[in-house]
Amino acid sequence: MIQSTGSINTIAEALDIVKGLSAPSKLPCDSYNIPAVKCHTGSKLRKIPGSVCSDCYALKGLYRKYRKTVDTAQRRRFKAIHETRWIEAMTYLVTARKMPFFRWFDSGDLQSVQHLSNIVEVAINCPDCKFWLPTREYVIVSTFLSLGSPNHRKYGKLPSNLILRLSAHMIDGKPPTGLAKRLGVRTSTVVTDGATCPASNQGGKCLECRACWEDVENISYKHH
């Protein structure tokens, strides 16, 4: 059942509100991306040699090859996240298309506590879909989870169908396990050797693997 005010009646209308979805070739599902240059933490890390963001995949490869088209679409989505009907539209899309899996941010990251709250609300509205959210915005996540109280009912807890992973900052760096355990979330890392993600051995695609969406403590991805 689509939980909305009833003001959205078609997929086309919902897509117009959220300004489209992204469909990375690696993934078995749709995603929602915004410009990587808008990452708060990532923008700082890009200046640090050896950081994952200093060699950001979302600023090269196919993202760069089709930069004009990609940049335009991502800028429109970045503006759309502030739309008052964004939650309703995303809920409609996921439900109407019967999406079993969804990824947040194949490019970009959380922008605020309210942004995370909106994503959480979409996940709550769509219990039949598993969502994966990788992020380096540790402070936003910590703040959101600390605000849980009778006066902040939309904050403080992540639904079981939303797997949030705190991403390590450095290539071959240790995952932020301690913080992740305190917050009750999972982690991910980028490594030069010993990746647990099988994509690098299967044409850069997930294929049948869905580990990122499962309750796996840490996923390590091979450095692109």
Q: Is the pLDDT of residue 145 over 90?
A: yes
Q: Nearest CA to 66 among 38, 13, 16, 24? A: 24
Domain chopping of the chain, boundaries: 21-54+99-222
Task: Give tens-digit pLDDT for 166-202.
Answer: 999 999 999 999 999 999 999 999 999 999 999 999 9
Task: Mention every residue, 6+ apart, whose C-beta is less than 8 A from residue 67.
Answer: none
Q: Is the pLDDT of residue 146 over 80?
A: yes
Task: Give tens-digit pLDDT for 39-68.
Answer: 999 999 999 999 999 988 767 665 665 567
Task: Output the CA torsion sign for 69, 70, 75, 80.
Answer: positive
Q: State the chain's mean pLDDT as an integer.
A: 91
Task: Classify residue 160 as exposed, middle or buried by CB count within 10 Å of its CB (0-12, 13-18, 19+).
Answer: exposed
Task: Give tens-digit pLDDT for 103-120.
Answer: 999 999 999 999 999 999
Three-class DSSP category at 143:
helix
CA 23, CA 29: separation in Å to the nearest integer? Answer: 7
